Amino acid sequence: MANTETALKEAAGIVGAIGAALVDYTSGMALGTIGGSKELDLNVAAAGNTDVVRAKVRAMEMLGLNDEIEDILITLGGQYHLIRLLKGRGTNGLFLYLALDKERANLAMARHQLKKIESELDV
């Protein structure tokens, strides 16, 4: 089982990664971050993407969808932002956030690797 620090280091090792965070979407606070840049403040991104997750959860409830969100993808001109809601033991209300450089990243592989990181994470 990987702890938060190990999981974030693994996420940062994904090809094309700009930064990653483990976020509590009940509070909007990042429990841990790695990477980022002047243009990508991961704490601000954590709080902002919390609103995205809450909105999608609310929309699913309003639609009566009895399903779970695996991940949410936001595609920008030069980046992918991937939000993976965690479902493992002790991870309720948490998501992994990964920002990727679109030119270097393989989106399918990044999704696969985030799923693996999730399966090994013990918070």
Q: What is the pLDDT of residue 88?
A: 67
Low-confidence ranges of the chain (pLDDT < 50): none
Q: What is the pLDDT of residue 39?
A: 86
Question: Which two structure tokens, joined as six digits, stand for 93?
Answer: 């209300």
Q: Which amino acid is at 58?
A: R
Q: What is the pLDDT of residue 31?
A: 94
Q: What is the pLDDT of residue 92?
A: 76
Q: What is the pLDDT of residue 90?
A: 59
Nearest one of 104, 99, 119, 88 to 49, comparing CA atoms = 99
Q: Are 7 and 120 in contact (CB under 8 A)?
A: yes
Neighbouring C-alpha atoms within 13 Å toward the C-beta of 84: 27
